[in-house]
């Protein structure tokens, strides 16, 4: 066979090859003097002696006081056995070194140096360094007695199955802590590699073979440049490279002095290999490796390795040692950002002369300026959100073909640019508080950095998900700013100190970390709009979370699953997840998650499921928990839900106050999407309160923001158009309303499909326009299509259908279908009662509508009961000045029917004042109020006073050029008022025109027809 390459020979020398490889190389080198020379060079030998087999010690054999238990492994330098130390009653690892490998160096010299190394190592007690207990001689061979670590090597652990980045970093950070501790004692490993990192059964790292690396000068002739001194001085050696070439630093491969920075290089080679599945530099022979290193030809990393981590590893791989990290401790701290950034080591080095703290010092104020000490925070964003990632994300959005893709991407980009600026400032501020100003402890810095690193990790996962954009991502992109968590909480050290503790068991802690990484990945997919994939990941992670029995983690999993289940429309599943989440959060004292679970329960019950009465207890509990958390973002979320609930309960002024405050917050934070959403909500709220002109202004602003930032064809632009169109219809601006609604309908059908609830609502608004115009057939067609589409989106008893149902009622009433209309109105009243409670102000309007229909059917006694109920609900609001014009009109109409004429007059006049302010001159509501005022004056016996409001109503109606039953109805009343004032000719003219105009509706409007005929009879008589 051909000769093995240098890495294979090095692996044989260190025992890193698998059993088959060890046998193959042993058989080859036994007959190949050239390879034996290479092995000798690897060991620093000038003259290679014949290879000598140390022989296999049988179980029960004694080496000094140690009893051999069995063979653990072998390498070119000897064999390792498990053994028993009867004096200290413990199992140990016994390594016998090949005497022949020492060449001309005497056994006494080697032993002396190894013993001194052992004494130095014995002064170190560190959880991530395997203890060297003893050095001895047995039958002409040196042996080392070390801590027995039975979990296998790091290399084997990496090969067993794919490992998450978090798992890999957790092990390497432990190794870095071990190296940092030994470097503090002047001990340089010189042969760090995955084969020299052992794992305990519970996953704890132990670095081994320090003794061989640092006393390796005893395995070859001393060099003139060797620097081995006693005591605490560095135990450094130069000359022939004694380690494994694939992990050796350039200076070592050149035969130059190696130091702690050489270990750092080897560490980064091993970490690169663990993250990417291959070593960073190509080449098998030493010369090839060195050439690759000098050209800095680092192989490309795998996709998904974050840029900050690439930068850390590549700095450690610098050819120039001075460009690597200042120390292993600094490198460890930089790496810790993924699994507990800047967290101080829990272990200390216990020295014979006292305690040396590895990083437990609190630094005082630095003389350096902030820019010198804490600059460069933005470097951590490389590969997470930089120019390359930004362009890659943009292209992914554009590939969807969605007309709104560019606008959505720009919204995403703006959000992430602001977020990264906030993160960079927070990172620098945290650093300066400790490093520059000395006003914060190292422990506090660690907490803040850990929090910031977690947020950066979340951003990293999100940008990966965004680069897989689809149509749903484009839709969700506009709302990203409202969904992406901020970094403000990372400055609250007190809250960070109160965070739930991870499991004490390292294995359990690693699993918790792994599950949290999966939950973070699921949340990133959620933010990117990939709901099905996100839910799949989250449900699988929840199963793993439940298996850990770590209650805080269970709470986090249940909470995320509930959000995704709601996204998918599975409200009952979401509700069940929230129940489990609240129980787990309380059991685990995870207050931050508990507050958010309660918040989402309030939202789901109150808004998502239309059960506001059930929502308040959840909201109140969430508020109580939030008082202890000092979380501004959570407070904002709770305010948003409270505004929803207040609005649903008809407490409009309270809801409006909250929404205005939230709008100020969103504007201050530059949250464009939230601003547009709040403008729209304030518009709808103003419309509900009858302030149509104000509603129009809010909605026009919302539309402007949507068109500017989201594009002319975006689905949310369509929704904004639909809302504005409905308001324009109520204002009587019918031509504008129809144009706006037709545009909205086209956008929504194109972007959401023909069977979406937003399409149904737009059709309903369009039906209202046709109704006001008097286009009965078109109004009915639009109303029925709206109802059919709505029923395909939600259940018939859903609160969200009340508006659609109400418009349909009005259209059917215009057709004169009184009995079906009455039953429909009763159903609407019951629907609203179930949704909002029996005392909601709009329940009063429904009650009045039922009463009005009963009056038209000639059933005044039944009607009276509904009107009495409506009045009872409305009168307290009217007395406090909290009722809008429409409500006052309904109240006045009911009072007039009940014979309370003067009170009816007072309220209808109040209604008109409010309507002048809020509705404008063309509003249908204002026309109805003018008509009612005319009826009030006629009932009072003052027909002359009825003329002005009736003429104004008629002028407004005719100016709109509508064909409506309202026109002959107003004209008939005007005819009566004129007749009663003695203007009989004018009265008859109006009566005849009313009769002609009514011809279209005579079959439908029986009572109106009879009254018109009676008025016309006065003229004939």
The catalytic site residues sit at 191
Quick one: tokens of 519?
């939950």
The candidate with the shortest Cα–Cα distance to 673, out of 993, 418, 969, is: 418
The candidate with the shortest Cα–Cα distance to 59, out of 49, 67, 51, is: 67
Helix (H, G, I), strand (E, B) or coil at 303: coil
Q: Between β-strands 349-351 and 227-228, what pairing exists: parallel, antiparallel or unpaired?
A: unpaired
To the nearest 10°, report the CA torsion of 966, 972, 974, 979.
180
Q: Are 645 and 453 in contact (CB under 8 A)?
A: no
Spatial separation of the C-alpha atoms in residues 631 and 509, rounded to whole Å: 26
Quick one: tokens of 186?
């002047």
The candidate with the shortest Cα–Cα distance to 267, out of 207, 308, 184, is: 207
Spatial separation of the C-alpha atoms in residues 654 and 835, rounded to whole Å: 19
Instruction: Output 740-744 pairs: Cβ under 8 A, ≥24 positions apart.
Output: 741/765, 741/766, 741/769, 742/766, 743/718, 744/718, 744/719
Spatial separation of the C-alpha atoms in residues 335 and 917, rounded to whole Å: 64
Q: Are 394 and 469 in contact (CB under 8 A)?
A: no
Phi first, then psi, for residue 410 (nearest 5°) are: -60, -35
* Residue 345: HSE in the Cβ half-sphere, 13 Å Cα cutoff: 29
Number of helices and strands (H, E) in the chain? 44, 12
Handedness of CA 234, 235, 236, 242 (dihedral sign): negative
Quick one: tokens of 363?
């630094």
The candidate with the shortest Cα–Cα distance to 1014, out of 990, 981, 991, is: 991
Could you say which DSSP state residue 153 is in?
B
Residues with Cβ within 8 Å of 444's Cβ and at least 6 positions away in sequence, in order, are 433, 434, 493
Q: Are 268 and 313 in contact (CB under 8 A)?
A: yes
Place of tokens 């709008």: 663
Place of tokens 């989250």: 538
What b/e readout covers 465-475, taking b as 16+ CB neighbours within 10 angstroms?
bbbebeebbbb
Q: Which helix (H) or strand (E) holds 998?
A: none
Spatial separation of the C-alpha atoms in residues 72 and 541, rounded to whole Å: 37
Alpha helices in 549-631 (DSSP H): 551-567, 571-587, 591-603, 612-626
Q: Are 51 and 77 in contact (CB under 8 A)?
A: no
The candidate with the shortest Cα–Cα distance to 466, out of 541, 411, 535, is: 411
Alpha helices in 627-756 (DSSP H): 632-648, 652-669, 672-688, 692-710, 715-731, 734-752
Spatial separation of the C-alpha atoms in residues 952 and 964, rounded to whole Å: 16
Distances (CA, A) of 765 to 739, 744, 803, 930: 12, 11, 9, 24
Spatial separation of the C-alpha atoms in residues 486 and 480, rounded to whole Å: 11
Helix (H, G, I), strand (E, B) or coil at 355: strand
What b/e readout covers 333-344, taking b as 16+ CB neighbours within 10 angstroms?
bbbbbbbbbbbb
Q: Are 31 and 63 in contact (CB under 8 A)?
A: no
Spatial separation of the C-alpha atoms in residues 718 and 714, rounded to whole Å: 6
Instruction: Measure CA 588 to chain center.
Output: 22
């Amino acid at each position: 066979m051909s000769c093995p390459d240098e890495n294979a020979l090095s692996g044989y020398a260190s025992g890193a090859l698998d059993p088959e490889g060890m046998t193959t190389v042993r058989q080859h080198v036994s007959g190949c003097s050239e390879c034996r020379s290479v092995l000798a060079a690897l060991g620093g030998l000038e003259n290679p002696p014949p290879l000598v087999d140390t022989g296999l010690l049988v179980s029960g054999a004694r080496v000094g006081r140690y009893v051999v238990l069995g063979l653990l492994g072998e390498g070119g330098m000897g064999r390792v056995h498990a053994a028993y130390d009867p004096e200290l009653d413990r199992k140990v690892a016994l390594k016998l070194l090949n005497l022949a490998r020492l060449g001309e160096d005497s056994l006494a010299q080697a032993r002396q140096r190894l013993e001194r190394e052992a004494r130095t190592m014995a002064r170190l007690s560190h959880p991530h360094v395997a203890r060297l207990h003893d050095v001895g001689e047995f039958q002409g061979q040196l042996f080392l007695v070390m801590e027995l670590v039975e979990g296998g090597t790091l290399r084997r652990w990496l090969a067993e199955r794919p490992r998450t980045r978090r798992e890999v970093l957790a092990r390497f950070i432990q190794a870095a802590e071990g190296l940092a501790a030994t470097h503090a004692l002047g001990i340089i490993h010189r042969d760090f590699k995955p084969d020299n990192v052992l794992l305990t059964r519970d996953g704890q790292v132990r670095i081994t073979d320090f003794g061989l690396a640092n006393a390796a000068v005893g395995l070859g002739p001393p060099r003139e440049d060797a620097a081995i001194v006693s005591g605490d001085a560095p135990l450094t050696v130069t000359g022939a490279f004694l380690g494994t070439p694939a992990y050796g630093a350039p200076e070592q491969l050149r035969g130059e002095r190696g130091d702690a920075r050489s270990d750092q290089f080897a560490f980064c080679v091993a970490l690169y290999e663990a993250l990417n599945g291959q070593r960073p530099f190509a080449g098998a022979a030493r010369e090839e490796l060195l050439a690759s290193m000098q050209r800095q030809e680092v192989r490309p990393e795998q996709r998904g390795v974050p840029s900050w981590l690439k930068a850390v590893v590549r700095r450690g791989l610098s050819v120039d040692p001075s460009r690597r990290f200042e120390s292993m401790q600094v490198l460890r701290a930089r790496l810790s950002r993924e699994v507990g950034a800047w967290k101080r080591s829990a272990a200390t080095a216990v020295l014979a002369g006292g305690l040396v703290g590895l990083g437990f010092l609190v630094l005082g104020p630095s003389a350096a300026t902030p820019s010198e000490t804490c600059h460069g925070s933005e470097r951590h964003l490389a590969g997470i959100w930089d120019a390359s990632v930004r362009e890659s994300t943009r292209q992914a959005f554009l590939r969807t073909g969605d007309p709104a893709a560019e606008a959505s991407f720009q919204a995403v980009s703006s959000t992430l640019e602001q977020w990264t600026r906030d993160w960079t400032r927070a990172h620098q501020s945290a650093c300066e508080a400790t490093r520059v100003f000395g006003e914060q402890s190292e422990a506090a810095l660690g907490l803040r950095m850990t929090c910031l690193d977690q947020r950066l990790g979340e951003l990293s996962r999100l940008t990966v998900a965004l680069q897989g954009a689809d149509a749903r991502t484009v839709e969700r992109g506009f709302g990203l700013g409202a969904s992406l968590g901020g970094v403000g909480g990372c400055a609250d050290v007190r809250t960070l100190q109160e965070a739930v503790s991870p499991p004490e068991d390292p294995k359990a802690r690693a699993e918790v970390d792994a599950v949290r990484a999966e939950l973070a990945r699921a949340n990133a997919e959620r933010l990117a709009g990939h709901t099905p994939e996100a839910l799949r990941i989250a449900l699988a992670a929840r199963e793993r979370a439940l298996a850990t029995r770590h209650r805080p983690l269970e709470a986090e999993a249940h909470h995320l699953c509930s959000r995704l289940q709601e996204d998918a429309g599975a409200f009952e599943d979401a509700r069940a997840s929230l129940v489990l989440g609240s129980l787990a959060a309380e059991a685990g004292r995870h207050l931050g998650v508990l507050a958010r679970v309660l918040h989402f329960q309030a939202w789901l019950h109150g808004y998502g499921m239309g059960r506001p009465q059930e929502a308040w207890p959840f909201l109140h509990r969430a508020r109580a928990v939030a008082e202890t958390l000092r979380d501004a973002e959570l407070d904002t979320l709770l305010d948003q839900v409270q505004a929803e609930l207040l609005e649903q309960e008809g407490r409009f002024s309270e809801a409006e106050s909250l929404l205005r405050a939230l709008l100020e917050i969103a504007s201050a934070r530059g949250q464009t999407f939230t601003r547009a959403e709040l403008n729209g909500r304030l518009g709808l709220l103003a419309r509900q309160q009858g302030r149509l002109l104000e509603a129009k202004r809010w909605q026009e602003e919302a539309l402007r923001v949507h068109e500017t930032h989201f594009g002319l064809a975006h689905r949310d632009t369509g929704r904004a158009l639909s809302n504005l169109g409905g308001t324009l219809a109520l204002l009587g601006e019918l031509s504008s309303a129809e144009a706006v609604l037709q545009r909205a309908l086209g956008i929504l059908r194109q972007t959401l499909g023909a069977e979406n609830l937003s399409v149904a609502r737009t059709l309903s608004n369009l039906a209202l326009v046709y109704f006001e115009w008097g286009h009965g057939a078109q109004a009915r067609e639009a109303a029925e299509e709206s109802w059919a589409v709505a029923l395909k989106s939600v259940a018939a008893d859903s609160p969200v259908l009340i508006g659609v149902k109400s418009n349909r009622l009005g259209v059917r009433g215009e057709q004169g279908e009184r009995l079906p209309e009455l039953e429909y109105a009763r159903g609407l009243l019951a629907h609203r009662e179930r949704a909002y409670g029996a005392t909601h102000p709009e329940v009063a309007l429904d009650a009045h509508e039922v009463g009005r229909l009963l009056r038209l059917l000639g059933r005044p006694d039944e009607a009276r009961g509904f009107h009495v109920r409506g009045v009872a609900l409305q009168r307290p609001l009217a007395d406090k000045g909290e009722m809008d014009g429409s409500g006052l009109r309904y109240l006045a109409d009911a009072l007039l029917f009940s014979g309370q004429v003067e009170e009816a007059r007072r309220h209808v006049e109040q209604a008109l004042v409010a309507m002048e302010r809020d509705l404008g001159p063309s509003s249908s509501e204002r026309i109805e109020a003018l008509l009612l005022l005319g009826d009030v004056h006629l009932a009072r016996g003052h027909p002359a006073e009825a003329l002005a409001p009736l003429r104004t109503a008629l002028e407004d109606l005719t100016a709109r050029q509508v064909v409506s039953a309202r026109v002959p109805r107003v004209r008939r009343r005007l005819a009566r008022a004129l007749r009663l004032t003695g203007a009989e000719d004018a009265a008859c003219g109006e009566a005849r025109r009313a009769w002609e105009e009514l011809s279209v509706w005579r079959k439908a409007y029986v009572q109106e027809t009879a009254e018109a005929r009676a008025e016309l009879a006065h003229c004939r008589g």
